[in-house]
Amino acid sequence: DKSLRLFKNSLIDLVKDLLKPTWKEGRMSREVHKTVVKKVVDKITGTIRTDHIPKTQDKVDHYLKHSKTKISKLVQAYVGRNLKKGS
């Protein structure tokens, strides 16, 4: 579905931006980075009902802007969990 792909791609970009500081500090392997991005995107897209997925770029941006704090906490939780596994 086109709107799901649009939403997922925007979500992936946001998650990568949130991971950038940890990545640049060299505290995360490529595998952990990929795992965190995949798990966060799967978790979020899995919890949103199909009819609630934003359909346009404007609506996607609006959703991500208002959900950024929650998404950031989720990213940090997965980072913490995966960095502990990796060490």
Q: How many structural domains is the chain composed of?
A: 1
Angle at 82 between CA 80 and CA 6, to 5 degrees: 95
Per residue in 14-67, pLDDT (tens digit) is 999 999 999 999 989 999 999 999 999 999 999 999 899 999 999 999 999 999
Domain span at residue 50 reads 2-86
pTM for the whole thing? 0.91
d(CA 24, CA 46): 29
